[in-house]
Amino acid sequence: MLTSIRTRILVFCLAIVLLALTLTGIATYQVTSRYNTEAISRSQAEVAEGYTMAISDWSNAKKAVVEATGRQALTEDALSRFILAADAGDMITVYAGFNDNRYITSDVDWDIPPTYQPTQRPWYQQALAAGHTIATLPYMDASSGKLVVSFASPIVRDGQTLGVISSDVAMDRVIETVNAIDPTPHSHAFMVNSDGIMIAHADKSLILKPATELDASLTPAALAQMSGTEALRDVTLRGQDMLVSAVPIEDTNWTLVMALDRKEAMAGMVSLVKTTVIALVVVGIIAALLIWALLTPIFRRMHEVRDAMRDVSEGEGDLTQRLPLSTRDDEVNQIARSFNRFVERIDHVMRDVRDSSENVRMASSEISTGSMDLSRRTETTAASLEQSAAAMEQLTSTVANSTESSRHAAQLTAQATQSAEEGGQVMTEVVGTMRDISTSSSEMANIIGVIDSIAFQTNLLALNASVEAARAGEQGRGFAVVAAEVRTLANRSTQAAQDIKKLIDDSVAKTANGQTLVQRAGERMEDIVSQIKRVNGLISEVTTAANEQSTGISQVNQAVTQLDQMTQENAALVEESAAASDSLSQEAQRLTQIIGVFRLSERAPS
């Protein structure tokens, strides 16, 4: 995997260069190959044209000799003229056949068989049918072992065909001409007639054999089609890749076929490909070196950025480092500038976080200390409330006793009424005594009023105490004052209860004295009874008021108890707050330690 950006850029640029060179090479190869093929075709055509003209001239020369000799075939010295034509035209023999089967030949040594009929020979019939000079299919001469072709021409006089003159010509010169065609060391040529029979080939074993023995595609039709164009055809001849072209030989039914070795013909293209590949490799290496040289200074600065970031992310986390900036405003310089701004901002944020965490730690420590102090004060307040609750319970018990005493006083009053009825004679003294009782009862009412006032103030103090307890903090000190007032009121309530008891006792004593007086003041019993009933009503009212006071004190006691519970709950909350503050202080200290990993710049003095 290409993990390095520089390597990826190098590979990418090198790939672009190589791709461009490859495409250029391919285009060049295709264009050159096309022009090379066309050049080979033109060269083949030019070479073939020269050789075909030579063969055509040779053939036309032989035909001319035959035609000229044919015009002398009806003369008396025809034989001598035949011999002269054979020698002059480099012919094996010259001979003629006539319609009457007469036969003349320049070969005087040949004994003509009596049954020999020239009019039945192929050369005679072909020329007669053609009506002009022809070249027969070459054949192997049995005596000489040479390839021989016969040129036959009709003998015409006054518009009548009287016979056919022919000559046998060895094709050694033509074969030598064809075999001399070798554009490249492994290239060759051969000649075929219109039937696709090879009449000239370097391999004598192939002469007079069809061209399809070389390759099945070399049919007469294919050769005829090839002879109409300069295009080259890829043909495999005996396992050898060849470029084949065919050129017809003028004034004959022969075709010159040239087989050019493909490898040798394309040697220039192969050399071009090799040169292109070598150039591609050399240019690729040079391009790689140039790209590497260009990328090295750029990535050297990028490596500086990478190392600086690594120093921040690893090790001591030095945020005081800054990357040097160059005068060029390129991408690397922009990255360095952005990195410096980023590190500067991170440094600023880290310093703020460090200072904030220190402030949080100090504040949490102060909160923890204050919470512990508040917890202690809350515990003290709770203890005071417990004492107040106990005092209120005692006050409630005292009021209950006072109520019971009032009931007992009512009973005694009833008894006093009965005694007053019996002792009417002392009514006057009873009246005085009752007046004293009335006075005592009035004082008792005042005392009860005081108790009622105390209960009311106690209720208000309890309300203030609940408010003070809810506020906590430094305001918890007021709760101690409230508790002190509650204790004072409780003491006053106790004293009032004692006074009530004393008055009641005095009333009882005076009532007893009134009974004695009533016994002596019988005459005024009715008035005394009436007054005692009034006293009894007053005592009932006192009893009712005492009951109400007892109920109010019970409610105050219940409120104090609830206040005590709330105070205890507040104490628990204060402890939890202290624990949370301590935990916050620890987290702030831990945050300070984490930030301490980074090396920060010093804050400029403000």
Which of 221, 249, 265 delimits the end of a domain?
Answer: 265
Could you tell me if residue 342 is inside a domain? no
pLDDT at 57 over 90: yes
* Residue 598 pLDDT grade (very low, low, confident, very high; cuts 50, 70, 90): low
Q: Over range 51-68, report the average pLDDT.
A: 95
Q: Over range 355-377, report the average pLDDT.
A: 78
What is the CATH number for 243? 3.30.450.20
pLDDT at 428 over 70: no
Q: What is the pLDDT of residues 113-138, one digit of tens each?
A: 989 999 999 999 999 999 999 999 99
* Residue 266 pLDDT grade (very low, low, confident, very high; cuts 50, 70, 90): confident
Is residue 388 helix, strand or coil?
helix
Could you tell me if residue 145 is inside a domain? yes
Question: How many domains does the chain divide into?
Answer: 2
Could you tell me if residue 211 is inside a domain? yes
Residue positions counted in the chain: 606
Q: Select the more confidently predicted residue: 519 or 588.
A: 588
What is the CATH number for 524? 1.10.287
- Please tell me the predicted confidence (pLDDT) of residue 473: 63
Alpha-carbon gap, residue 461 to 459, rounded angstroms? 5
Say if residue 259 is in the same domain as residue 394.
no
Say if residue 378 is in the same domain as residue 490.
yes
CA separation, residue 20 to residues 13, 14, 17, 90, 280 (Å) = 10, 10, 5, 65, 10
Q: What is the pLDDT of residues 437-452, one digit of tens each?
A: 667 666 766 776 777 6
Alpha-carbon gap, residue 452 to 542, rounded angstroms? 12
Of 545, 547, 507, the closest CA to residue 400 belongs to: 547
The alpha-helical segments, DSSP class H, found in 116-192 are 122-130, 172-179
Q: Select the more confidently predicted residue: 243 or 560.
A: 243
Could you tell me if residue 151 is inside a domain? yes
Q: What is the pLDDT of residues 445-476, one digit of tens each?
A: 677 677 767 766 776 776 676 666 677 666 66
Could you tell me if residue 7 is inside a domain? no
pTM: 0.47
Say if residue 259 is in the same domain as residue 392.
no
pLDDT at 518 over 60: no
Could you tell me if residue 335 is inside a domain? no
Q: What is the pLDDT of residues 537-552, one digit of tens each?
A: 777 777 787 677 778 7
Structure tokens at 32: 């050159």
Could you tell me if residue 181 is inside a domain? yes
Alpha-carbon gap, residue 366 to 345, rounded angstroms? 31
Between vectors from CA 343 to CA 338 and to CA 347, what angle results, nearest 5°?
Answer: 150
Alpha-carbon gap, residue 54 to 49, rounded angstroms? 9
Which of 265, 293, 319 delimits the end of a domain?
Answer: 265
Q: What is the pLDDT of residues 360-370, one digit of tens each?
A: 778 877 887 87
Which of 238, 265, 292 delimits the end of a domain?
Answer: 265
Q: What is the pLDDT of residues 100-109, one digit of tens each?
A: 999 999 998 8
Alpha-carbon gap, residue 488 to 230, rounded angstroms? 141
- Name which of 48-62, 108-122, 397-411, 422-436 the model is least confident about: 422-436
Q: Is 250 left (phi over 0), alpha (psi -120 to 50) or beta?
A: beta
Query: What backbone phi and psi angles, to 5 degrees, belong to 201?
Result: -160, 150
Of 505, 571, 124, the closest CA to residue 373 belongs to: 571
Could you tell me if residue 219 is inside a domain? yes
Q: Over range 353-363, report the average pLDDT.
A: 78
- Please tell me the predicted confidence (pLDDT) of residue 355: 79
Say if residue 210 is in the same domain as residue 74.
yes
The domain of 377 spans 369-595
Query: What backbone phi and psi angles, to 5 degrees, belong to 456?
Result: -65, -45
Q: Select the more confidently predicted residue: 568 or 108.
A: 108
